[in-house]
Amino acid sequence: MDLLNTLVDKGLRRELPTREEALAVLATSDDDLLDVVAAAGKVRRHWFGRRVKLNYLVNLKSGLCPEDCSYCSQRLGSQAGILKYTWLKPDEASEAAAAGLAGGAKRVCLVASGRGPTDRDVDRVSETIKTIKDQNEGVEVCACLGLLSDGQAERLREAGADAYNHNLNTSESTYGEITTTHTYADRVDTVQKAHAAGLSACSGLIAGMGESDEDLVDVVYSLRELDPDSVPVNFLIPFEGTPLAKEWNLTPQRCLRILAMVRFVCPDVEVRIAGGREVHLRTMQPLALHLANSIFLGDYLTSEGQAGKADLEMIADAGFEVEGTDQVTLPEHRAATAGGGCGSHESAGCGSHESAGCGSHESAGCGSHESAGCGSHAEGGVCGTAAAAAPANEPRTDLVAVRRRGAGTDLAPNA
């Protein structure tokens, strides 16, 4: 297919595809899907080899957010039965982070619900960052606290933060349809503040909220212009009790096409599969590793994900390898200029989480929601009760499970 050959050539040169080419990727048929994955996989392997970076979410403060983001289980007025608790103490957060690091994660994403941090909140998170870094050598830390005020990004950087996550989520033209308590411009401003402070910027999107192909291309092109080091791609988890509870618009094939389009437009950045991969990609998750080079390990902010052990087995079985702490995530030309301490590393941030970014928070981890996954799986990674014979394109509400373990509980995390 001439389109794919052209996109591979452009991806290897870091050349921006045309909007028409990006839209054409989303319009490809299921018959052409493996060709699309193979083409985008060439670009992914050129810049990132067969490495998969693991990230781990710690939800520092869950629920009770004053923002009205429609996709978020922590939003104002949410009826979702999620965990609600105030700030974890630094030692509690460090203990939670250690579980993910022991499972192979090299970056910890610290997320707190809310519009944005107060100066006191920044002090609290700064202490948490220092505690985690003192107790876990070589760890990267990404903060995801919502909209930043002047000077706050610099203070987080001074405390040792390597990155900051704040997702754009959707196109500027449709942003007002999903959130009214802040603007798209507010989000752009926070990403720019993180960049300016020397933090590695992490910003991504949420797919599946009823947006058009044009909306998806718009937000990915806007992200390319902002030039974050990491782009989390979240797939909406329609939580009961939220305005988007009935938005089941994604198929595994659609998710793969979206990831391929993001890779072609952002060839040399860390593309992370964030919230919703277990729910929407399901058994196609291994194919997605040919497109993205980063995932979250275990559970998300307010929902359960695939068991950490199953994540590691999936990576190995698909012929990929977990990226070590001694390896640099980003290509050399980006690593040299990546903001922040990412030290050797990288970029990534939260993402997302889930589904949404971390940020304003969305629900999920860095993402809006999390991914939700199968809780029942804590041990095995497959949803035991999942309907193996479920009709195609039917909502898989059986795969959405609220997190009941890990941070904010007395139960061990799923790392």
Least confident of 64-73, 88-97, 182-191: 64-73
% the chain with pLDDT above 90: 67
* pLDDT class of 394 with cuts at 50, 70, 90: confident
Q: What is the pLDDT of residue 339?
A: 58
* pLDDT class of 338 with cuts at 50, 70, 90: confident
Q: What is the pLDDT of residue 76?
A: 60
Q: What is the pLDDT of residues 109-125, one digit of tens each?
A: 999 988 999 999 999 99
Q: What is the pLDDT of residue 357?
A: 38
Cβ atoms of residues 42 and 5 within 8 Å: no
Which residues, other chains included, contact 364 with Cβ-Cβ below 8 Å and sequence gap of 6+?
A: 57, 72, 73, 111, 234, 237, 274, 275, 300, 301, 302, 303, 352, 353, 354, 355, 356, 358, 370, 371
80 has pLDDT over 80: no
Strand, coil or helix: 177: helix
Residue-by-residue DSSP string for 89-144: PHHHHHHHHHHHHHTT--EEEEEE-SSS--HHHHHHHHHHHHHHHHHSTT-EEEEE
Alpha helices per DSSP H over 252-307: 252-265, 285-288
The CATH class that applies to domain 43-335 reads alpha beta
**What amino acid is encoded at 15 in this protein?**
E
d(CA 297, CA 104): 8
139 has pLDDT over 70: yes
Angle between helices 19-26 and 2-13 in degrees, nearest 10: 120
Longest dimension (CA), the chain: 56
178 has pLDDT over 60: yes
Closest residue by Cα to residue 259 from 208, 317, 318, 209: 208
Cβ atoms of residues 371 and 274 within 8 Å: yes
Take residue 229 and report the two structure tokens written for it. Answer: 């080091």
Which residues, other chains included, contact 47 with Cβ-Cβ below 8 Å and sequence gap of 6+?
A: 267, 268, 293, 331
Q: What is the pLDDT of residues 360-383, one digit of tens each?
A: 334 333 443 333 333 333 333 434
Dihedral Cα 315, 415, 113, 276, nearest 10 deg: 40
Q: What is the pLDDT of residue 245?
A: 87
List residues with catalytic annotation. 65, 69, 72, 109, 142, 202, 272
346 has pLDDT over 50: no
Cβ atoms of residues 274 and 55 within 8 Å: no
Closest residue by Cα to residue 359 from 15, 124, 116, 132: 116
Q: What is the pLDDT of residues 23-58, one digit of tens each?
A: 999 999 999 999 999 999 999 999 999 999 999 999
d(CA 54, CA 100): 9
What are the boundaries of each domain within the chain? 43-335
Bridge partners of 235, per DSSP, are 207
d(CA 356, CA 337): 26
Q: What is the pLDDT of residues 197-214, one digit of tens each?
A: 999 999 999 999 999 999
Closest residue by Cα to residue 264 from 221, 230, 234, 296: 221
Residue-by-residue DSSP string for 377-414: GGTTSS-TT--TTPPTT---GGG--B--SSTTSSSPP-
- Residue whose pair of structure tokens reads 């080079």 in the numeric block: 293
Using only the alpha carbons of the chain, give its radius of gyration. 19
**What amino acid is encoded at 405 in this protein?**
R
Least confident of 298-312, 334-348, 360-374: 360-374
Question: Per-residue pLDDT averaged across 304-310, rounded?
Answer: 88
Question: Per-residue pLDDT averaged across 188-192, rounded?
Answer: 98
Q: What is the pLDDT of residue 300?
A: 77
Which residues, other chains included, contact 388 with Cβ-Cβ below 8 Å and sequence gap of 6+?
A: none
